[in-house]
Chains A and B, each alone.
Chain A
Amino acid sequence: MSALDKKLLRDMVRLWAQALAIALVMASGVTTLILAVGAYRSLEETRSAYYERYRFADVFATAKRAPEFVERQILEISGVAAAEARIQEFALLDIEGMEQPATGLAMSLPDYRELRLNRIYLRKGRLPDPGRVDEVTINEAFATAHNFELGAKFHAILNGYKRPLTVVGIALSPEFIYSIGPGDLIPDDRRFADLWMSEKAMAAMFDLDGAFNSVSLKLLRGANQAEVIKQLDDILERYGGTGAYGRKDQPSHAFIDAELKQLKSMAQVIPPIFLLVSAFLINITLTRLIALEREQIGLLKALGYRRLTIAVHYMKLIVFIAAVGIVIGVVAGTWLGQGLTRLYADFFHFPFLIFKRGMDIYAIAAGISLATALLGGLRSIYTALTLPPAVAMSPPLPTHYAHLGIEKLQLIRHLSQLTIMAIRHIIRWPVRSALTVLGIAMSGALLITALFSLDSIEFMIDTIYFQADRQDATVNFTHEQPRKVLQEVEHLPGVLRVEPYRSVAVRLRHGHYNRKLAIVGRPPGADLSRILDRDNRPVELPQSGLLLSERVAKLLHVSRGDMVDVEILDDSRGQGSLDATSIGTRRSTRRLPVAGIIQSYLGLAVYMDLLALNEMLDEAPVVSGVHIAIDKSRTGELFKAIKGLPAVSAIALQDASLAKFRETLATNLTIMTTVYVVLSVIIAFGVVYNSARIQLSERVREFASLRVLGFTKGEVSHVLLLELAILVAAAIPLAFVIGYGFAWATVQGFESDLYSLPFIIKSNTYAISALVVLAAATVSALIVRRRIDQLDMIKALKTRE
């Protein structure tokens, strides 16, 4: 090993703490990049492989009752590669040991052939035997939630009949990677099940022999999906079709998309912050480090070393630091990335996981880190190298300090010389001071970005559960019910109040923008479930016109007073008596004004007066479900009674939903927040520690002189600590501003058709972020202070600068 390389190694040992601090910040950037991109790619790759292998459909549609031959008509649509028709119905489940009824989506499986589309992955057991009305294959999550093994039994109310079912198989389906029950905000595997049963058995139970009510299509590559949907709608219209939709509107797919979008925005926003900070940190530290090595550089030149050799020597130092950072980052990123992917795999239901990162992301992370490091160092190496050796070896000229402009103020005259030293030092190096402030501010901003989501979610919970949807429970019906069902519900035990709602599938059009969604009709003066305006104040439904959520207004490019076309997809006229022979009327379109824009964090909400809605549909009043207030001491009786109501498909309890919501968020958010807090602390610590060490190395003679002059250790530290304190104090308000910006960007990144996050940052979040930054800064400053205390003043003064 050459003498120069030995020097390098020993320099590394000497500088380990500073080098490690830089390496860790750099590692944070690499970690977040690999973590986010890795999880994103793994999740996307897993989903697409799952879709591919299990033939997930492209277009979905439901109808009331379509005869079998319609399937052949559908196959003739240009661009359709395959079709899979089935029967699907909601069923209330009665599970032993569970008071509350659960809900299942029962789907038929062809008896004598394999599924063409949406194939299921059998984890255990088998599919139900043809014609068996008592056999069922259930989804794995539901089985796990109830500890159901093969042979387990529960009851289901299928078309009004309570039937015992035996679990013969446990499976997963690409249709239900994210499996959420009707009316739920978040998956609750205890309360919602996917049930697969024999087609013959289901046809008999639901009186759908030779007919189907749900169809999925696989399209040919390059097929025009919009055109297929239009033709499919035309075909199904007469059979009570409710509007076909693509993957974009398939709930499971859409939820994963929203999650992927968030991961993507995380990969785009967070890692650059870290890389930026580490680049800056490396720049200030290495600039200083190399400035301190100025003499040695001069000496090496005096000894006849070539510039390139010396440059390579210092570049090796930078590369070494970067390498340490990259290695730590790669290991941590890979490890955390796998953890995050597993977390997703738990939350979503995949039969297998593909960890996909790709060498490119490692190469990009390493390349960017190395480049920022080298860029940070090169300039200072270059400066040192261009000095003639004699100049490099002689001590640099004393730094030129200026009088402070503000020194003319009386106030300043009262400051001690030590305080003035600190202030002048900051002002002397404005760029460095500003960058240090920015670095510290970045760590605070990151904390705010990590913590504000808790505020937003708390606010969202309060708005949804305590301001808007204040009902205790929501009862959904399998099909629209005549209004008289309200009396029945009202008379159920424990029910205190009832508020009906009606949900109608429509397509809203404005210009060339259109969107398939549901209009919810509510009675005037509804008090359990309220609609809130953009300031979260309850609003009355107008007698005519629509209330659109902000998201819908944005998607359709409409504002208050604009007219929108409402194409009614859900035609329930004559419901219950509809059979193969009944012929529906042409799908009708109405034109309605936008009466107002309202707040809604979930889904694509559009509201309308219930009476106006019924009038628009030109039909006898029916309801899709009811919101109820209940006497919570009588829930047992209520549940029991509901389990006996054939029309009910699901009952969602607000309390349970909220608990589940919090539980899920707690897991997901705690992990992410912890990661971010750790990373922020690393930044704050790294920046403050390095900046203190740099100061110390620059001013060691100054400090030693002060000690010689009789200043105490405390007084000498005061100069250094005061300067850091001023920088940190300046950084905190900046952190608030930047954090506000990052948080805002995050909210934008989160927004999807499924949910949007309110932009709320509580003062607590600011305070906690400031305190964490302060604590990290204090700890690192105190570590450096110890070095001042141990300062060997004689040695410091004897050596040349």
Chain B
Amino acid sequence: MAQSRKKSHAKTSPDVMFKVEGVTKVYHTGELDIHALSGVDLTLYEGELAVLLGPSGSGKSTLLNILGGLDVATDGHAWFRENEITRLTESELTSYRRDHVGFVFQFYNLIPSLSARENVALVTEISKNPMKPEEALGLVGLDHRLDHFPAQMSGGEQQRVAIARAIAKRPEVLLCDEPTGALDSKTGVHVLEALTSVNEELGTTTAVITHNMAIADIAHRVFHFGDGRITKTYANKKRVAPDKVQW
């Protein structure tokens, strides 16, 4: 399917959010080259919640970074709606991230010297149509911890601040790299709930990376990664609510 479309440049249906064709990524680390991605094709649709599964080193984070404009592909093409992100310049990538993408990382990446509210404000200050930091924190259930610093919050709370920060600018896509990776299952559930509710209430296209099979059940569609390739794709016939997920 992807092969046949290879030459039909940017011909995407209106509900396609991301389109990836033959993307490769090679890291040169001194003595040896690491092929993080070796030709990946993939399509993500608007409003979809996708889970990218796979062991570490399988290339899922690399793909997510390329989709989010955090890294550049060695070869191949990727589109965000009609725009080919693999052709964007450094400053166009910055605008793209600023205007369209929200990120959530495994290690929260909060600025330790800023409070929860200020960490969110960091993004709302440079966005075109942001929600109020308080509103975003309310969405993830943290309206009572507005002025706490990262060091004063639990891991789950910190991760929810990171989610609030990611969604506060009303992004079209939310990219999450192991959002529950550093959390126990109970706090992890709170984070997943925040993610699904954002997906449902704001219609944000969401891609979640995990190596936790159980989490795949909350997705619309699941992509399995292995050795820099997508090995399997399937749609969940019946999605499971986050509070039913166990690990």
- A contact residues vs B (CB 8 Å cutoff): 2-4, 6-7, 10-11, 14, 295-296, 298-307, 388-391, 393, 397, 400, 799-800
Q: How far is the CA of A299 from the CA of B122 in the complex (A)?
A: 11
In Å, the complex CA distance between A2 and B121 comes to 8
Contact A3/B118 with A302-B97, A388-B71 known, Cβ cut-off 8 Å: yes
Interface contact A295-B109, CB-CB below 8 Å: yes
Q: Which of B42-93 contact A (CB under 8 A)?
A: 61-62, 65, 68, 70-72, 90-91
Q: Which residues of B contact A389 (CB under 8 A)?
A: 65, 70-71, 97
| Residues on the A chain within 8 Å of B94, using CB | 301, 304-307
In angstroms, Cα B171 to Cα A304, docked, is 12
Given pairs A303-B126, A304-B101, A397-B29, 7 additional interface contacts (CB within 8 A): A6-B114, A7-B118, A7-B122, A296-B109, A298-B70, A304-B99, A390-B70
Contact A303 B98 (CB under 8 A): yes
**Residues from chain A with Cβ under 8 Å of B72 in the complex:** 388
The closest CB in chain B to the CB of A795 belongs to: B151
Asked whether A3 lies within 8 Å of B114 as measured between CB atoms, the reply is: yes
The complex places the Cα of A307 from the Cα of B99 at a distance, in Å, of 16
Contact A307 B90 (CB under 8 A): yes
Bound-complex Cα distance A705 to B114 (A): 28
Give the nearest-CB partner of A308 in chain B. Answer: B91
Answer whether residue B131 sits at the interface, using C-beta atoms and an 8 A cutoff. no
* B105–chain A nearest beta-carbon distance, Å: 7
B71 engages A6 (CB within 8 Å) = no
Residue of B nearest to A4 (CB): B122
In the assembled complex, B123 has its CB within 8 A of some CB on chain A: yes
CB distance from A388 to the nearest CB of B (A): 5
> Which A residues lie within 8 Å of B123 (CB)?
303-304
Residues of B within 8 A of A799 (CB): 107
Most buried by A among B70, B95, B114: B70
B60 vs chain A, min Cβ distance (A):
13
Q: Which residues of B contact A (CB under 8 A)?
A: 29-30, 61-62, 65, 68, 70-72, 90-91, 94-99, 101, 103, 105, 107, 109, 111, 113-114, 118-119, 121-123, 125-127, 165
For the residues of A in contact with B, the DSSP-based class is: helix
Some 25 contacts from A to B, beta carbons below 8 A apart, are A3-B114, A3-B118, A3-B119, A7-B111, A7-B113, A7-B114, A295-B109, A296-B111, A300-B122, A301-B97, A302-B109, A303-B98, A303-B122, A303-B126, A304-B101, A304-B126, A305-B94, A305-B98, A306-B91, A307-B90, A388-B71, A389-B65, A390-B61, A390-B62, A400-B30
Which residues from chain A contact B70 at a C-beta distance below 8 Å?
A: 298, 301-302, 388-390, 393
A799, B72: Cα distance in complex, Å: 27
Which residues of the other chain, A, contact B71 by a CB distance below 8 angstroms?
Answer: 388-391
The answer, among B29, B97, B122, for a CB contact under 8 Å with A3, is B122
Chain A's closest residue to B149 (CB) is A10
User: B109 near A299 (CB under 8 angstroms)?
Assistant: yes
Select from chain A the residue with minimum beta-carbon distance to B70: A390
Task: From B98, B101, B114, B122, name the one whose CB has the most chain A CB atoms within 10 angstroms.
Answer: B122
Q: Are B98 and A393 in touch, CB under 8 angstroms?
A: no
A298 to B127, CA, bound (A): 18
B80 CB, nearest partner CB in chain A, Å: 14
Contact B109 A6, beta carbon cutoff 8 Å = no
Are A393 and B122 touching (Cβ within 8 A)? no
Q: Which residues of B contact A3 (CB under 8 A)?
A: 111, 114, 118-119, 121-122, 125
Task: Please measure, in the bound complex, the distance between the C-alpha atom of A408 and the C-alpha atom of B169, giving whole angstroms.
Answer: 59
Residue of B nearest to A388 (CB): B71
B13 to nearest A CB, angstroms? Answer: 27
Q: In the complex, which residues of chain B have a beta carbon less than 8 angstroms from the beta carbon of A306? A: 91, 94
Point out the residues of chain A lying under 8 angstroms from B95, CB to CB: 304
Chain B: which residue is nearest A8 at the CB level? B113
Which residue of the partner chain, among B101, B107, B119, B122, contacts A800 with CB atoms under 8 Å? Answer: B107
Nearest Cβ on chain B to A724's Cβ, whole angstroms: 28
Which among A6, A302, A304 is the interface contact of B118 at CB below 8 angstroms?
A6
Q: In the complex, what distance in Å separates the CA atom of A388 from the CA atom of B119?
A: 22
Identity of the chain B residue whose Cβ is nearest the Cβ of A800 in the assembled complex: B107
CA distance A10 to B114 in the complex (A): 8
Shortest 9 CB-CB contacts between residues of A and residues of B: A304-B98, A10-B113, A390-B70, A390-B65, A390-B71, A3-B122, A304-B97, A389-B70, A3-B121
Q: How far is the CB of A317 from chain B (nearest CB, A)?
A: 12
Separation of A10 and B111 alpha carbons in the complex (Å)? 11
Given A3-B125, A388-B72, A393-B105, A303 contacting B118 (CB threshold 8 A): no
Using Cβ atoms and an 8 Å threshold, which residues of chain B touch A400?
A: 30
Q: How far is the CB of B226 from chain A (nearest CB, A)?
A: 21
Cross-chain contact A393 with B109 (CB below 8 angstroms)? yes
* A398 → B minimal CB distance (Å): 11
A661 to B70, CA, bound (A): 73
Give the CA-CA distance A391 to B27 in the complex, in Å.
Answer: 10
List B contacts of A390 (CB < 8 A): 61-62, 65, 70-71
- Measured between beta carbons, the chain A residues less than 8 angstroms from B126 are 303-305
What's the Cα separation between A3 and B133 when bound, in Å? 12
Contacting residues, chain A, for B119 (C-beta < 8 A)? 3
Q: In the assembled complex, which residues on chain B have CB atoms less than 8 Å from the CB atom of A14?
A: 113
Chain A residues with Cβ below 8 Å from B103 are 302-303
Given A3-B121, A7-B114, A303 and B97 touching (CB < 8 A)? yes
Task: Find chain B residues with CB under 8 A from A393 CB.
Answer: 70, 105, 109
Could you tell me the distance between the alpha carbons of A532 and B176 in the complex, rounded to whole angstroms?
A: 87
Rounded to whole angstroms, the CA-CA distance of A384 and B126 in the bound complex is 21
Q: How far is the CB of B227 from chain A (nearest CB, A)?
A: 20
